[in-house]
Structure 1
Amino acid sequence: MSSIPDYAHNLSLKMSQVMDMIGVNEKIVMKRRRISMLLNESLLTVIHQLCGNDKNVFFFGSTIEGTTTPGLHSDTDSLISLNKFNVIQDRSEWEYGKRNFLMIQDENVSPGYCLLQKLRDDVPLPLVVETDDNTYRDRMGRILLKNTMFTGLHNVVRNGPAHSLQNVPGVRDNDLVPAFPCHVRPVQAGHWLNQHREEHWPTSDMIQYCNNTRCFVVGVGKSGSTNEAFEWRISTSFAERFLMFNLNITQIRCYVLMKMILKTFITQMFPDRISSFMCKTVLIHCISYTRSDTWKENTLFTCLSFCLSTLYSCVQNEYCPHFFITQNNLMSGRFSPESKPLILETLRYVIESNGRALLEIKCDNFGLYLKSSLNSFIQINEHVIPTRIAGLLLGVTALFMNASFIFFLRETNDLSPRLATQKLLTIIANHQNENKKAYRLITRHLCSTLGSILASLIINQQDHLTYKKALSFMSLGLDSDVASGKLKLASMFYCNGDIERTELVLKNIEEFYNLSLVEPMCGCYDFKKARTRESFQRLCYESSEEYTLLKDITASCVCFIRCEINCCPLELQHEMFRSTQEDLAYRSEDDKLMDMAVVDSLPYLYFLQYKTYSRLGRQDDKRKTLSNIARTIDVEPNLGHRETALNLLGQCMEQENNLGNAFKCYARSFQIRGRNNSAKLHICKLLNKLINN
């Protein structure tokens, strides 16, 4: 790669410019990693642990690496470490209280895979009796664990080792990979350490880190192996993620371009032949072969050509060694006699086109933008796409946090006030000294709920001590986001008859709720969401403090479980009993949300203002808030509970004796959600009122 023609330098710079423009730059890459690893990964782990599950969740793949674009539509690969299991290579590593399995790697096991022999729970000795349908006694008398033990998980679709999570409210479809932790590097992966000890990349420090990091085993066997039903694949995802985190921006762009080329020219015809993981492996091998100063912005095209030529050679020889477990040939048995020549011909076309094939890439309009750049008439704002990506990333995290909180409340809704209080107190006490941001994000919402439950127990009673405790917990949840925590406090004051303090809190919320900036975030269920505001996107792109942004420019739903009923205005209490006997037949087992009262923050803010001004007799302010509710319902695109807001507005109209408009509100609400909607009750009551009048 020493002799590089001038056109390649110019083309490389233009390619780098376009990659920057579509969001493959240092800022977006780091933002993806921070949000994916520090927030979303931690949030999932926190939710599992709060629910009493001894599991850790880790993200791997393009999303957390920052090696994707919107047009690539990359999945989120989530590995769930089941910590009650322990995979060992020597019986001295056996742990009491865990389900221990001995890793077996011999000449009968495919490279990169292992068998798991089940050991006894009381002593580090092999189990001699089959215990269930997930085990099998082989001809040597060993009790082996089948890799099919995770089939049948709820709401998942099997895809190799992964189980695609689908149709779960508030959460994108993603790949869930149940895995057993292995805290000692397998012998097969140890050969890599010696092989790369003298190379300049990875460095000695990187090699040491990879050698010390944990591995996992996941439930999938080598296709075509005689032991396919019993083999478990050894996953070195942590080490791979670490190496990807140490790539420079040109190397990342090279990988993204390889995936774009794969999608444009090969995947449509041969979807299962060359995977993005193979491209990643080829890239890492290429980096290890070259000097680090080779990978620069003005050499991007040359580096890409080198990687594609290496990929061509791998396909031609049907040999692509796993970077850590070199005995594992990723391309073994991947190509049929019919597909291989066509794939090679396609790769040869791309390589020999001298860059012309890049103009055919439609993914993220890369080819179009590159052509415009080469002709010096780019007609697009270079910051538009990166700012949209930044807004989307923070929005997904806010939705994810809201969905996580709702999930936890659904598990608490059926408890008595005493049991719910004990559960929340235990969780908050156990994690109040945690420094992890995810814990703080979740526990702030939980503190608001706990304070509301305590207040609900003693409202209209003179229990000043409990009321003071309720206020102290409420104060801990005030900045969970821009509005929902404060609205819970305002609800408590209103239901306790403290109208002056209710008005003060509502004024504070309105002051900080910037209508041109704040985005409502509902993760309660899936619905088509509109693009976030440009000002929201711009601030997300400019700031590196995503944790602060979640508190300042997002508004979560306001949620009341039945234990909080006395802190929930009567008009909203109807939402806790929205399901008729007929509706119940159309609900799933997990649809406990319908037994809670949930409303978007902004219309609820205006509703509470209406009720407050009604108590204070301020007619002009009251009429203004009614207009605000109606306008919000009509113009705010991302309301998740629009039907609830309409039900609240309809009840306000009834209180104004405007029965015709009240009926219109309920009818419109019923059109949005035909089942599990309290609008049915309101319509019946309204018709009864009209008839009797």
Structure 2
Amino acid sequence: MFHTPDYYHNISMRLSEVLDDIGVTENIVTKRRRTHLLRETMLTIHLRTIGEQTTVYNLGSRSEGTTTLGLQSDFDKLGCINHSIVIQDWSEWTPGKFNFLMIQNETTPPGYCRLQCISPDAPLPVTHETGDDFVDDTQGRILLKNTIIEIIMIQGDQRQGPSLASAAEPGFIAKDSVLALPCKSWPQSPRAWLHQQETNIWPTAEMRRYTKSTKCFLVGVGSRASENAAIEWRFSTSLAERCLVFSLNITQIKCYVLMKMILKTYMYISAESYISSFMCKTVLFHCIASKPSCVWKECNILNCLNYCLFTLNNCLLNEHCPHFIVHENNLMAGKFSAEVKQQLLERMSALIPSDGISLFGIQIDNLGERLQIKLNMINEVHHDILQPDEYTNLVMGNLLTNTARLVLEIEQVGDRNLETLLPKVIQLERYYRAGDILGKTACRLLIPLFCTSIGSLIASQNIQINRTVSPQALRWIEAGLDSDFASSRLKLASIMFCVGNAEITALILSHIEEQYKIEVIRPICRCYKFNTHCIKAGFCQLSSQYGVEALMYIVAFCVKFFTTSEINCVPHELQYEMFRSTQEDLLHRGRGDNWMDCAVVDSLPYLYFLQYKTYSFLQRPEEQQQALTKLGWVINTECSLGHRETALNLLGQCLEQENRHADALQCYMSSLSLRERNNAARFHICRCLAIINS
């Protein structure tokens, strides 16, 4: 490789320790991967239950475990459209699917193809097709344009290559979504890689055999250097690449993370990245394939990094970075101008050969400062530098939070009636019985909330008919009690209150309050995007200890009554939230605002509100006043509330019952300042003013 100066060993070991401290360890890498494999399993199972034949794959740095908190990597999601198939010859035609015949000729760039539309009823070309997503070529063939992927584009998305990207917002992660068509078999160009007789040991023959079992996709993007980009589709071997990343040792992963940090720190020109993290990954693959495995060890990490940067520099110099699997595909083709190339080379020249000095300038995760501390170049600095255990806990807390949010996101999709929910639960139970560990875990997380909704719907019908709750409703609710720590139990308490069982309600609420560890339990809401950086140390610590199973003990979902079909399970003070929107307010709603037709409130404020109402009914004034005080306290102190305006509306109505109308009016005004539109506070303000002025 290179001659290694003696001090490289020391720098390498300290650098490796720094990367350990910011979560680039075998343990954290594994947990990141498991979490994102679980996410894609949950999404795929959910799509199956609503009749969508799409398989979801989480790709990119997060699912690979090749990221850190400071890198702020995007969520990369690929949806494989299973009702379509790409064939290479007529023998592969598949009945009942949308078939597309792959076309490659001398005008098609390497790594790309065109798609001819084939009849789903017979292996014959489609001769007539209309619409903006189809075009006739010079031979009269009907070709599919890659613009068709934009059918799933929502407001705020941007087309970036084959993906639809939602930009990062304060407190939220950017997302890239790709629709992909599966190939019936591996196309010739990438298939050649599978059968290469390499002398090097990586990738091994076993790895190549395994990657052969993965799907190869086509994604909707044309070559930058092509005049026919709109009708070109690019080969994607992303699943095979994920297998390769999963085979890397921790030193190789650390090199990749360092390359991405250097890229972000030094290689952006006018805030634009011309060298992608995928190029860095490809360069790493080529380097690993060209050097023996004994080179890739922690005491040699700086030397390994230098070799990767040197290889990347050569790619830049020649404007040629061959895709690792589809060698003919040059990842740098048409990516930058001669002027940009010169600037990139100048910056690379300052990094090669590297003695580690450039690493000191990396502020991501305080890497440069941490390294200087390790090398005794500066005294230890404590400002905003997390200790290794704190960093690990924070990573795990974020992973659990994102999993919990996905559970809520899935719960909110679809109609909320018994005719749709009962078959959904039956399907989920079927997937649970037939599933592997990930499948069983996914179903175990998803089923309880649906069970609670079914129980609530049945209970609402019972209450309307005879003011009681049937054993059937209670069985469904009991099956859902472990959805999270509090929300399903609070739904049960709400139902008991609405049928007049105040003593049972008080017991349920008392048990919840006794077990509710405020310094540990994190409120989670997925109704809308709201920015909160508040994450509790106790929550993170238990997330790290117990993983996804901790969700039912340290997460409190918001309590949601989805439709007016559940209205009989809702105290009248909360029912106002189901009718919060005037005709004018409806014009100010956006995509995803259907939750505004629900009665929804955070768990802890609802706990104290129900206590206030229950103790009032039981004529226990001292406990009633304590609950009122706690309700005001949690509104002012809990930083992660998703529905603070609703909690203020409930508090205001309690104060009205105390004949404190001026204080109630102040609550409603505060609520309105948080959410100006689609807020029931407007009704309460009118009523309150009428009382004050009467």
TM-score above 0.5: yes
Residue 477 (structure 1) aligns with: 480
Distance 1:370 1:183 in 2: 49
- Give the corresponding residue for 1:122: 121
CA distance in 2, matches of 1:602, 1:458: 27
Does the CA-based 8 Å contact 2:577-2:599 persist in structure 1?
Answer: yes
1:109-508 equivalences under 5 Å are: 109-151=108-150, 153-155=153-155, 156-165=157-166, 172-269=173-270, 271-375=272-376, 377-380=379-382, 381-406=387-412, 408=413, 411-412=414-415, 420-435=417-432, 436=439, 437-459=441-463, 461-462=465-466, 467-508=470-511
Single out whichever of 533-542 and 479-488 deviates more from structure 2: 533-542
Aligned partners of 1:196 and 1:505: how far apart in 2?
67
The answer on whether the counterparts of 1:669 and 1:679 sit within 8 Å (CA) in structure 2 is yes
Deviations 1:96-146 (A, max 9, x none): 221111112233211111111110121111112234332222122221111
1:636 corresponding residue in structure 2: 638
CA distance in 2 between partners of 1:459 and 1:397 (Å) = 34
Structure 1 segments, 4+ long, off by >6 Å, are: 167-171
Describe the shift of the 1:658–1:589 C-alpha distance in structure 2 as closer, same or farther (beyond 3 A): same
Rounded to whole Å, the distance in 2 between the matches of 1:64 and 1:322 is: 20
Q: Distance between the aligned counterparts of 2:645 and 2:509, measured in 1?
A: 23
In 2, Cα distance between the equivalents of 1:443 and 1:337? Answer: 56
Partner Cα distance (1:339, 1:175) in 2: 26
1:513 aligns with 2:544: no
| SS across alignment from 2:614 | helix
Q: Give the percent of matched residue pairs that are identical in Structure 1 and Structure 2.
A: 47
CA contact (8 A) 2:485 2:556 kept: yes
Q: Tell me which residue corresponds to 1:10.
A: 10
In the aligned structure 2, how far is the partner of 1:171 from the partner of 1:443? Answer: 27
Deviations 1:404-460 (A, max 9, x none): 323x2xx425xxxxxx11111111112213222223322211111111011101215
2:624 matched residue in structure 1 = 622
**Count of paired positions:** 679
The alignment yields a C-alpha RMSD, in angstroms, of 2.1
SS in 2 for 1:459: helix
Question: How far has the Cα of 1:270 moved from its partner?
Answer: 7.6
Structure 1 counterpart of 2:72, one-letter code = H
Contact 1:13/1:297 (<8 A) preserved = yes
CA contact (8 A) 1:460 1:496 kept: no
| Partner Cα distance (2:591, 2:318) in 1 | 52
Once the two structures are superposed, what CA deviation does each residue of 1:18-46 show, in whole Å capped at 9, x if it has no partner?
Answer: 111122222221221121221x2233334
Corresponding residue for residue 435 of structure 2? none
Secondary structure of 1:195's aligned partner:
coil
Tell whether 2:647 aligns with 1:650. Answer: no
Distance 1:211 1:194 in 2: 10
1:667-688 CA distance string (max 9 Å, x none):
2111111111111111111222
Higher alpha-carbon deviation: 262-271 or 531-540: 262-271
For the residue of structure 2 that corresponds to 1:402, the secondary structure is helix
Distance (Å, rounded) in 2 between the aligned partners of 1:166 and 1:344: 29
Separation in structure 1 between the aligned mates of residue 173 and residue 296 of structure 2, nearest angstrom: 35
Aligned to 1:417: none
In the TM superposition, residue 334 of structure 1 has moved relative to its aligned partner by: 2.9
- Tell me how far apart the structure 1 counterparts of residues 693 and 272 of structure 2 sit (CA, whole Å): 65
**What is the alpha-carbon distance in structure 2 between the residues aligned to residue 258 and residue 196 of structure 1?**
29
Give the equivalent residue in structure 2 for 1:675.
677
Q: Secondary structure at the match of 2:665?
A: helix
Shift of 1:3: 4.8
Structure 2: tracts of 5 or more residues without a match: 433-438
Partner of 1:78: 77
Deviation larger for 594-603 or 74-83? 74-83
**Contact between 2:64 and 2:245, CA under 8 Å: does it hold in 1?**
yes
Asked if structure 2 preserves the Cα contact closer than 8 Å seen for 1:402 and 1:557, the reply is: no
| Alpha carbons 1:170, 1:400 under 8 Å: kept | no
Deviation larger for 584-593 or 144-153: 584-593
C-alpha distance in 1, partners of 2:310/2:397? 37
Query: What is the alpha-carbon distance in structure 2 between the residues aligned to residue 620 and residue 405 of structure 1?
Result: 38
Return the offset for 1:258.
Answer: 0.7
Structure 1 residue aligned with 2:23: 23
Q: Which amino acid letter does the alignment assign opposite residue 489 of structure 1?
A: L
| Contiguous gaps of at least 5 residues in structure 1 | 414-419
Whole-Å Cα distance in 1 between the matches of residues 388 and 592 of structure 2? 44
Secondary structure, in 3 states, of the residue corresponding to 1:338?
helix
Closer/same/farther in 2, CA of residues 196 and 628 from structure 1, 3 Å limit: farther
Q: TM-score, normalised by structure 1?
A: 0.94
Q: Secondary structure at the match of 2:114?
A: strand
Amino acid at match of 1:454: I
